[in-house]
Amino acid sequence: MIHSLTSIHPDARLAPDVQVDPFSMIHKNVEIGAGTWIGSNVTIMEGARIGKNCKIFPGAVISADPQDLKFDGEDTTVQIGDNTTIREFVTIHRGTRDRWTTRVGRNCMILAYSHIAHDCIIGDNCILSNNSQIAGHVVLGDWVILGGMCAIHQFVRVGSHVFLGGGSLVGKDIPPYIKAARMPLSYSGVNSVGLKRRGFTIDKINHILDIYRVIYNKGMNTSQALEYLEEEFPASDERDEIVAFIRESGRGIIKRYSKSSFDEDYAD
C-alpha cells in the first residue's frame, strides 16, 4: 500500500492499510488512521494527526510551521477528523501556544488551494470551496459552507449552519443559521435551504426567522434586541445559541445590508 518512491520517517505511525502514492513525504511524529489515502507529492509534517478514511490529494501540505512571528518551535499539532477530504494544494498549518492545535472536524471537504492557518478550529461537516483563505485563530461551527475565494480575518467566529457567499471578505463574526453575502458583507437571510436539508422542521426554521427579524429588522440596537429575545421569546436551543454567540462576540457581528432590504417571507 506504500509506494517505494515515498519517504516515511521511521517514527511515523501509519495504520496497516494506509495507502501512500509516490513522491510523498511523511515526517516524524505523524499519525495516520486506517483507510486513509495519501496522494502523490503530499507533504505531511511533524505534528499531524490524521483520522480514518481521509483522502489527501496531490500537492497538499499538512502541519507545516505556522506563519506567526510569535511561534517559537513549541510542540503543537494539526488534527484532521475521520472521513475528511483535502484537495489539491491545500495548506493547513499547525497551532501555536494559543490553542496548541489546528483542528479540522469530521466529514469535511477542503477544496483546492485553500489555506487554514494556525490555531483554527473547523467544525464537522464543513465545506471550504476553492481558494478559501482562513487566517489564524478563526473558529467555524459545524455545517458551515464557504463559497469560493472567501477570505476570513484572524479571530473571526462563524456560527453553525452558515452559508457564506463566494468572494466574501469577512471581518466580523457571523451568527449561526444565516446566509451572508454582498459588499460589505451583510446578513442575507436565514439559511433555510440548508436547514431543511439537515432535517430542521418548518416551525423551527420560522422560529429562527423570527429571532433574526428582531435582531436585524426591528430598529433595535444589538443589546436591546438580545434583551427583547430573552424576555419575550420562548426558550429554545436555537434562541439560546444565537444569543450566546452574539454576547460572546469579540469583533461584533455583521449588519444587515440596508433598512430597505427585502424582508424575507416565512419558510414553507
Active-site residue, from 27, 93, 115, 118: 118
246 phi, psi to nearest 5 deg: -70, -40
* Closest by CA position to 62, among listed 107, 108, 18, 31: 31
CB 161 within 8 A of CB 177: yes
Looking at this protein, which amino acid is placed at residue 54?
C
Distance CA 5, CA 107 (A): 30
| Beta-bridge partners for 113 | none
27 is known as an active-site residue: no
| DSSP, res 76 | -
Q: Determine which one of 33, 39, 95, 136 is catalytic.
A: 136
Helix or strand (DSSP H, E) at 130: none
Catalytic residue (one of 21, 82, 119, 142): 119
- To the query of whether residue 136 is one of the catalytic residues in this protein, the response is yes
Per-residue buried b or exposed e for 239-258, using 16+ beta carbons within 10 Å of the residue's own CB: bebbbebbeebeeebbebbe
Nearest partner of 23 among 67, 72, 68, 59, judged by Cα: 59
Catalytic residue positions?
118-119, 136
